[in-house]
Structure 1
Amino acid sequence: MTWYYVNCSFILIFTWISYTNSIPGYSIEAPKSVTVQRGLCVHIPCHFTVEKSVTLSERNTEGLWFNGTDKNPPPVAATKGDISEATKGRFFLTGEVWKGDCSLSINDAVPSDSSFYLFRLIYSNKYSFSNIKPEVTVIELTDKPEISLEKTLVAGKEVTLTCTSPGRCNGSTPLITWSGVQGKVVTYTADYPDGNKTYYSNITFTPSRLDNTFPLSCTVNFQKSNTSTSQKMILNVEYTIHNENIPIIVMEGKSEIIKCTVDSNPQSNITWYKGEIALQNTSSRQTLIYNVKNANLSDAGIYRCSATNSLSTTNKSIEVTVHYVPRTPQINCSMPKDCIIEGNKTIYINEGSSLSLRCSAESSPAASLAWLKPGNPNTISLDEELHFSNILHSNDGLYTCQANNTYGRSNASVTIKVIYGPRAVSGKDSTCATEERVIKCTCIIQSFPDVNIQWKIDEKSYAISDKDILISTSRFDEETTSMMDLLLNHNEVHSIQCISSNQHNHFTLSLLSKERKYPPSILDSLRNCLHFLLAEVLILL
């Protein structure tokens, strides 16, 4: 028989097959195959029977689901005990096994979940229902979020739009984001009696007539399965201008008309002014239109419509505001006081110091500012200031200040270069080794800026090659490698040190240290001297 089961926002078609195993009385019913979209979830209903002489109880009965394609795998779900790390927190045996319910739920589906699955029953014996292995197929995510709104969009009136994530299950919370307008965003969870959930996000904002035909997008990111889906709608904003009584906003480079309509008897002469300068006038008409063409910042200001007839003069003013994309942000260093940003936008700062950078950008409307680091998926700071209280070498790199408003974005970047003293390189050893009559040493140092390296052999230092010493030094990025071949008899060398230094600090690596051995005659003399001194001390006592 074929069952139709609605789950996770799309229809799953289950073909049910009932199998009876080779032992009479044991049977199981489960769908032969199920399909689930990546990031969503699926419920696999399952029921089984055992022979009548077997009594199952909640205490002595366990159920386990296994990946049917693996050999000796850990269970992917179980009533108790450890399960596979790959399915922990996603696969759940939801049925009451002792009542014959072996149902399985899979949340946050990933491609590697595509497989056959096998159910095993444990009571006083173990029994695997091997004749049926439901097949799970994970396909790419095609469902999209749904955007809905509570009322018609009207310019100047606050409205709330809702974005509902696809899927209805008890999976991990997805990340829901909006783009296209700026507003207050709140994310909610709707819980249902069956334990499943729906995730949705509201954005509340006040549209203007400039938002009409503007695209609004909602993106849902299922982070555990590394997949996302989005939906876009074109805003339809209704608006009305009553005799130009409301301010006019015009985008830089665009054109806009302002209109003055006068009802009078006798008819009035109408003139548009900006400040005290007359822009356009007409005689004995009801309406006068002034066209702001290819708007720039100088077009912003208060415009006055003056209507005069034989009885009186009436004035009405309107404000014209020019909006524009944020200008290129300006980055300044506010701490330390002597901080300098060089011409190529680079800051040199000592490791362990405090550093504060401030970003500003001219824009209309005001821009939101954020600090980003290329290669880092997360925003570092949602503020105009980027602060490091104890800067580390790991903070070295390029930082970008991004300014956003309704009309677009602009960026400016600065490179932070951390100055630090020489140190050993993690994962790379500095060593000395003896080959025949040659001691070969390698010293690897990390630093910025470059270091000077000297080799100290016993009590003598060498910076360059000598008669019996061959020294070669190279540098790649922030690593300096110095290689030294010592041609002397290595038995005569007791210590070798690599000494590195730059303007920030110095660092010494001891690569060879041997105890000095003295000839027997010298040791005997020292011993006799000690005995003599001891005897003299005893006599004095």
Structure 2
Amino acid sequence: MKIKRSSYHLSYYHILLFISHLWSGIDSELLPGYHINVPHRVTVQRGLCVYIPCNFTVPKTETLTRNAKGIWYNKNEQIVASKRNGLHFPNKRFFLAGDVWRGDCSLYIENPLYEDRYRFRVEDNIEFSYRDIKPYVDVTELKSKPEISPIKSWIDGEEVTLSCTSPGTCVQIKPQITWGVNIKNVRVGNKIINHENGTKTHFSTITFTARKEQNNSPLSCIVQLKGGLTTAQQITMKVEYPLRAPEIKCSIINKEPKIPSSSGCTMDANNTIYPLEGSWLSLTCSADRLPTSSLGWKSSNGTLTSFSTVNLTFINVSLTAEGIYTCQATNTYESKETSVTMKILYSPRFVDGRCHKVENRLECTCLIQSFPEPTLKWKHNGVSYNNANHMNDKISIFTGKSKSGTNSTLTLQINTGESQNIQCVASNIHGELVLELFNETAQLTSKAFPSAAIFAGCFAAVLIVTGVLLIIFYRKRKMMQNKEASMPTHDSVVENIYDNSEMFSNGLNEVGKIPQQDHQPPPEDGSVDLNCENVQYMSVNFSKLKPKVTATESEAEEVEYSVVKRTA
């Protein structure tokens, strides 16, 4: 009876096994207890790998053992991966990553060559193929790039370590990672991180010291995969550096050819510049800094405060421009400044000078300002004396310096009656100044000036009166000549008389008739016979004399003619 029961149970087991074989071609969703959870579609880049998560179930009446075997087939029903009891049967590029006896059917694919569709099958005390979901793997071109980290800005002098991680976490793919950077003294290392699922992460590190010269320079990481596939990532390095003291540069804007462009713009050890008076000057401020900062100017005398320009221009620079000019650079971290002192070069100029004569001694002082300091000398009647301290029996010179300038004093013994000419001569490389402080001859001349002026005035008055008299004389003489020239001649008088008959009366019987006289020849002895017997008298009225009318005027007037008969 016991034997029959055992044979009965064995026959039942075989029946179930047979039925499972029959159902292996049926979709699992139609059979209770058989289910698979896997993505319908996945995408992988050429040269990389993809992990397809998968888990499955069997009926509760069935228990999978450690000897359970999982198999993956492609669409051509070729086995691409299988696993039993932790042992892989890989096809070099395909791996069954999960534990089959735990219901894990996860598939791992490396460097897929083309698109394909896959299905899963389990074999243990049961055999079953899951056909309801067949994941499709889509292969695309390589687009992923390596990852560089950290990406940030560094400080000049800081030691920097960057890492470059290859795309994909594969099992057998071993990428080659290289760095593309123009940096000296770098250290490079390649490392691998192993994960529990058997995948690996490949990355490389590079260590160097950041310098400001590397700012905005490129840094790249190149990853080379199987089949000659290459991918790369590039970043731009940002290297900040502490704010340095600003730099001031000077240039001369040529106003005249005589002023060289480099004159006065060379700074000495004390940051002092020496422009020439009258020149055009430009100061430029610059600061080497990152991040950027604002620049501005301020002056010691308070006449200038500007935070809107980096250039200062001085036109026709004068002594009022002397002082300290400070350029200030400020950013979010700190503020620094640099100063320059401006000292104007100019030729000697007179401040004060005079001479005082006491009996036979002459004392003179001369105060001069210039930069650089002047060289002073004295001239007495054309003879030069150096500006150094000079003393003898006749002359004494003392020269010193004060805040007001260079001062020199001359004491001179003189002889009464001699001419004295004193000159103070100051000079430097930019010019010479000659001052005549005393001239005795000029002083005497100035005393005689009033009498000489009176004499000159009187002489000028005499000349003026004489000239006026001469002019009057010649004008009167000319008027008399014109008057004589305008007086009528004898013929014209007679003609006028005859033409104006109205002026005659009491002596003429007829108008215009003149009595005839016998004309006898003169005696032969030359004597004159005065015959007064035939003298006739008449009256002449000159008030009735009319002016003679010219031919032109007579033509314009109506003239009446009368015939005068003359009888013998």
> What is the TM-score of this pair, normalised by structure 2?
0.37
Higher alpha-carbon Rg: 2
Answer 1 or 2: which has greater strand percent. 1
Question: Structure 1-normalised TM-score?
Answer: 0.38
Q: Which structure shows the bigger proportion of residues in helix conformation?
A: 2
